[in-house]
Chain A
Amino acid sequence: MTNEFYMGRRSGFCYALEDVAFGTANDATTWSWAGQIEKVSDDDKQNVQDISCMDGSVDTRTTHEFYAMTPEFGATVEGKLQHFRFPGLGVGPDTMDPSGTHTIVPGNTLKSFSMQVKLGHTTPYVRQWTGCMVKTMELNVSKGDWLRFSLGISAQKMTRISSMKDYQSSALPCKKYTTAQMRPYRGSDMTTKINDVDISDVITQARFTIDNDLLVEPSMDEDVGNFTSEPIPQLSKISAGITVKMKDYALEDLFLAGAAVDDNSFKWTRGSDSLTISWDNAIINKNGNPVDIGGGVVIQELAMDIPTCTIVEVNGITTDYDTAEA
């Protein structure tokens, strides 16, 4: 009987800020708990890189010598959102105040970081990505369900190692929190405002996306001994989407007006903790209205482009966010 790799309680995921040098993982003391991770999907590729040059030393050309492999590494990480520190890597710098209020505004100073995923097996097996940057950050929530995040991550390197970093010590920047200690946010804790009107009673789904539009540039890497990808942040594109049970024409009128809509926000609360995303100047660019007799109620799907946003999280884990996390 063979020992297969498997998922479950022996799986694990952690991340570290920030790389000592781009692509070189930080030491053990900064590996952190990222939240309740549900899925890690590898997206590792070897691209054939055409090298455009002439070889004058021989009179025949050997084709394979004029190509190089450019590895491109990355993964998509999905989980339930306990706190915004890990998804915040896809947004920008986190300005903290002593009260535990974190203000995060999109910027072009994305952190590079490392991450590890452990698979269950009799022989320890850990994949470690270094030189990571967040390509896309998406939050999504449905009525009655958890608030989930999904990070599309581009990495410079992936290596296979035999042990996972300890991220459960209380001395670490962001230690492990059980659900009993820090319940992930939920759709039932959510307040939504569009144009300063509370639509929490009719919203059934919400999505918030930041696409950092990373340009993955091949560059030489001495450790790998080859070309390797290096993500470079470009202009971020921010968008949001909501699905509501239609009760009047207000949202449709906002779409038809085609003007910028101010005072919009998603807010999740958990006791005295909260996570708020707020934005102005949104342009509603889609007003889907499937008239489906089987649906029972009329559903309205809206999407909007957003120039910038502010994300504020208030939580009680101030002391666990040290300067390395900021």
Chain B
Amino acid sequence: MVERRTTAQVISDLLRSALTDPNSTRRVLGTPWIYPDIPRIFDLSEDKNNFPRISVVNIGVSSQGDIGMDSTETEDTITLSVDAWAYKDSVWSVKVGDNDSKALSGNNLCEALLQQVHIYLRDNWRTVTVPHMLFNYLKTGTGFYEDEVDGTINRCGMTIRFEGVNIDD
């Protein structure tokens, strides 16, 4: 029996293998920093080396209809929320696209990490195929959140969308 992985897990795994952890301390240990769920921020905020981190969460799947006659498969759309979380005043070096690396912190660091995610997915979504068959990646929105945990954690968010067949079924 093959384990059915969710789209959030598939995307998290892709990003883990593609993006470099900006936290050099954590990078040496090989600890993951991208997860397919919402982080327990209060617990994690006790150690600044738990940041920065990225979360990928499914916020909705809708079906457009059957893919053809005599078929139980459906054409679907999934919307995911990708959030970047940073520990206040922790500075890490991030390289976005063809630009030189820059030392960033707070919301600027979060924005840069989301930009890395967007550029990677925009250029590589065609490689995400079986079993999820995701197509037509789109960034549908970006935004800031208020700082969390008494201003200790900064957070930026991005919503993305894929079309596909039988998403997460």
Complex Cα distance, B71 from A35, in Å, reads 10
Which of chain B's residues has its CB closest to A11's CB? B69
Q: Which of B73, B126, B136 contacts A178 (CB under 8 A)?
A: B73
A8-B66, A9-B66, A186-B135 in contact; A180/B71 too (CB < 8 A)?
A: no
Residues in B whose Cβ lies below 8 Å from that of A36: 67-69, 71
Q: Which of A9, A80, A189 contacts B70 (CB under 8 A)?
A: A9
Beta-carbon contact of B69 and A179 below 8 Å? no
**Does A280 reach chain B (CB closer than 8 Å)?**
no
**Does B166 reach chain A (CB closer than 8 Å)?**
yes
Beta-carbon contact of B165 and A12 below 8 Å? no
Contacting B at CB under 8 A, from A163-193, are 176, 178-180, 183, 186, 188-189
Complex Cα distance, B48 from A14, in Å, reads 62
Complex Cα distance, B133 from A144, in Å, reads 13
Contact digits for B107-142, partner A, Cβ 8 Å, 1 yes 0 no: 000000000000000000010011101011000000
**Does B25 reach chain A (CB closer than 8 Å)?**
no
Residues in B whose Cβ lies below 8 Å from that of A186: 135
Q: Which of B70, B126, B133, B136 contacts A179 (CB under 8 A)?
A: B133
**Does A79 reach chain B (CB closer than 8 Å)?**
yes
Contact digits for B151-169, partner A, Cβ 8 Å, 1 yes 0 no: 0000000000000011000
Complex Cα distance, B72 from A183, in Å, reads 14
Beta-carbon contact of B66 and A180 below 8 Å? no
Residues of A in contact with B, size category: 20 to 34
A179-B73, A180-B165 in contact; A188/B68 too (CB < 8 A)?
A: no
Complex Cα distance, B133 from A271, in Å, reads 12
* Interface residues on chain B, number (Cβ under 8 Å): 17
Complex Cα distance, B77 from A144, in Å, reads 13
**Does A262 reach chain B (CB closer than 8 Å)?**
no
Residues in B whose Cβ lies below 8 Å from that of A189: 126
A8-B66, A9-B66, A188-B126 in contact; A179/B135 too (CB < 8 A)?
A: no
**Does A38 reach chain B (CB closer than 8 Å)?**
yes
Residue from B69, B136, B165, B166 with most neighbouring chain A CB atoms (10 Å): B69
Which of chain A's residues has its CB closest to B126's CB? A188
Residue from A144, A189, A271 with most neighbouring chain B CB atoms (10 Å): A144
The A contact surface, by secondary structure, is loop
Residues in A whose Cβ lies below 8 Å from that of B131: 180
Beta-carbon contact of A144 and B70 below 8 Å? no
Beta-carbon contact of B66 and A179 below 8 Å? no
Beta-carbon contact of A179 and B130 below 8 Å? no
CB distance from A142 to the nearest CB of B (A): 11
Beta-carbon contact of B69 and A13 below 8 Å? yes
Residues in A whose Cβ lies below 8 Å from that of B129: 183, 271
A179-B165, A180-B130, A180-B166 in contact; A9/B136 too (CB < 8 A)?
A: no
Residues in A whose Cβ lies below 8 Å from that of B126: 188-189
Beta-carbon contact of A37 and B135 below 8 Å? no
Complex Cα distance, B71 from A10, in Å, reads 8
A178-B73, A180-B166 in contact; A35/B135 too (CB < 8 A)?
A: no
Residues in A whose Cβ lies below 8 Å from that of B70: 9-13, 118, 176
Complex Cα distance, B69 from A141, in Å, reads 20
Which of chain B's residues has its CB closest to A7's CB? B69
Complex Cα distance, B146 from A93, in Å, reads 66
Beta-carbon contact of A180 and B73 below 8 Å? yes
Complex Cα distance, B133 from A64, in Å, reads 61
Beta-carbon contact of A79 and B68 below 8 Å? yes
CB distance from B62 to the nearest CB of A (A): 17
CB distance from A75 to the nearest CB of B (A): 13
Beta-carbon contact of B71 and A144 below 8 Å? no
Beta-carbon contact of A183 and B66 below 8 Å? no
Complex Cα distance, B130 from A9, in Å, reads 23
Complex Cα distance, B83 from A245, in Å, reads 34
Shortest beta-carbon contacts, A-B, top 8? A36-B68, A12-B70, A11-B69, A37-B69, A144-B136, A179-B165, A179-B73, A36-B67
If A7-B69, A118-B70, A144-B135 are given as contacts, then 4 extra A-B residue pairs at C-beta distance below 8 Å, sorted by A number, are A8-B66, A12-B70, A38-B68, A80-B67
Would you mind naming 26 contact pairs between A and B with Cβ atoms under 8 Å apart?
A7-B69, A8-B66, A9-B66, A9-B69, A9-B71, A11-B69, A11-B70, A12-B69, A12-B70, A13-B69, A36-B67, A37-B68, A37-B69, A38-B68, A79-B68, A144-B135, A176-B70, A179-B71, A179-B165, A179-B166, A180-B73, A180-B133, A180-B165, A183-B129, A183-B133, A186-B135
